[in-house]
Structure 1
Amino acid sequence: MTTVLFDMDGVILEGPRTDPQVYADAADAALADLGADPTPDQRRDVRTHEYERIKPHCRDLGIDPEQFWELKEAYASEGTHDRLRSGERGTYDDIDAIRDLGDRTTIGLVTNNRHETAAFVADYVGFDFDVVRGRDPTFEGYERRKPDPYYIDDALDALGVTDGIYVGDSPTDVTAGRAAGLETAFLRRPHNRDRERLRNATHELESLADVVSLVVSK
């Protein structure tokens, strides 16, 4: 059977990305841990992912940029997990199709989100993924996000396979999946419903239930 890898945000978790407030709170917590007292402009910048601006701010504040980034990523994961536990962020109604697919073939979770959160979500939804891969909590890890196929390639290497399907909800998912040599499935969700069909996507799906039909037909 065909190996199927899934994106996480916008495919399993509702919404296309982590709420920016989660990162703002994470940055504030990391600054407090490191005893830093930023100006309002510095605080505004370090709450973002613009690491080329974050690095000099950290040096000006006398803190290690890499340590700040790693702490920020860890606190962002904690914030995301709390929002999931509380129900503030939900999952889509059709995700049980992934569980059904896992009974038939190899499945994996590959996301631009943090690896710590990817592992949490895999456990939270209770799916028996054969591989789980998210971004590393480093500047280099952030640079390797899709559309770079780095994390998809890493997952394929872990599985010992070279072909399959990558299911995502964004153009970067399709670009990364194709760069990794996979078929790609563009999944329609409320946030991308009005987007034009992606010409470079192999398949277009209205529901995760369609993935099961797609794999069974191969």
Structure 2
Amino acid sequence: MARIVFDLDGTLIDSVPDIAAAANATLAEVGVAPLSLAEARGFVGEGAGVFVERMAQARGLSEPARLMPRFLHHYERAVGLTEIYPGVAASLDALARAGHRLGLCTNKPARPTEAVLAHLGWQERFEVVLAGDSLPSRKPDPAPLRAAFDALGDGPMIYVGDSEIDAEAARRAGVPFLIYTPGYRSADLQDLPHAAAFDDWSEVLAIVATMA
């Protein structure tokens, strides 16, 4: 059976509405116009620090580090607008029943990750959860991905994500990559190395069966 590690935002869940809400609550506190959903979606992927830097740059704000505590205050509570992508829960259940070991590796900080997993009832869903601040580095550095697989024991490795950050992390870790195409990527699909692409979560069990 395989070790399967998943990205979170843009792969298992659509969290952009909550992230945008946290960003806009922060911007409102400093009297600046809100982000659109499209802007927030484009800023997601490389961790909260990079998101805040991009947000500040887009609104002409200096010293983004000063916005970080405000943003995290809101982000750690932003769960009510997040939705699981259709078919994800059933696919995760099917993979677990088939004996695959499941882990999570996200660039989302630990406290927002814990909050959204609790909100979704997923506290026990994954055997290992590595967040963006669990280790000194984050994706696309391969270290978090390798650590997640190491924690799952032995067996074939598969990483499931949605973005160029995920594709690069998988490439650098030497792990087969499955890409969920409706996610948050900005690059063209053909430009991202991947073993398989899918747009329907009901396809995943069959794809994994050909690889494990």
CA-CA distance at 1:179 after TM superposition = 1.3
Structure 1 position 132 matched with structure 2 position 129: yes
Does the C-alpha gap of structure 1 residues 152 and 194 become closer, same or farther in structure 2, counting only changes over 3 Å? Answer: closer
* Number of residue pairs the alignment of both structures matches: 184
- Corresponding residue of 2:107: 112
User: What percentage of aligned pairs have identical amino acids?
Assistant: 22
Alpha-carbon contact 1:10-1:17 (below 8 Å) kept: no
Alpha-carbon contact 1:186-1:198 (below 8 Å) kept: no
CA-CA distance at 1:195 after TM superposition = 3.4
Give the aligned CA root-mean-square deviation in angstroms: 3.5
**Structure 2 CA distance for aligned equivalents of residues 209 and 193 of structure 1:** 24
CA-CA distance at 1:107 after TM superposition = 0.5
Structure 1 position 89 matched with structure 2 position 82: yes
Structure 2: state its 5+ residue gaps.
33-50, 57-61
Structure 1 position 168 matched with structure 2 position 168: no
Alpha-carbon contact 1:2-1:164 (below 8 Å) kept: yes
TM-score normalised by the chain length of structure 2: 0.69
1:41-76 superposed Cα distances (whole Å, 9 cap, x missing partner): 9xxxxx923699335xx5xxxxxxxxx745642431
CA-CA distance at 1:146 after TM superposition = 2.1
CA-CA distance at 1:17 after TM superposition = 8.0
Alpha-carbon contact 1:3-1:163 (below 8 Å) kept: yes
- Corresponding residue of 1:49: 53
**Structure 2 CA distance for aligned equivalents of residues 192 and 113 of structure 1:** 16
1:120-169 superposed Cα distances (whole Å, 9 cap, x missing partner): 333333442111121129xx86xx33222232123223334585111111
Structure 1 counterpart of 2:147, which letter? D
CA-CA distance at 1:13 after TM superposition = 1.3
Does the C-alpha gap of structure 1 residues 19 and 69 become closer, same or farther in structure 2, counting only changes over 3 Å? Answer: closer
Structure 1: state its 5+ residue gaps.
30-37, 42-46, 59-67
Alpha-carbon contact 2:164-2:185 (below 8 Å) kept: no
TM-score normalised by the chain length of structure 1: 0.68
Give the one of 186, 193, 201 matched to 1:200. Answer: 193
- Corresponding residue of 1:75: 74
CA-CA distance at 1:16 after TM superposition = 6.0
Give the one of 119, 123, 126 matched to 2:118. Answer: 123
Which structure has more relative contact order (CA 8 Å, sep 6+)? It is: 2
Structure 2 counterpart of 1:54, which letter? P
Question: Does the residue aligned with 1:23 lie in a helix, a strand or coil?
Answer: helix
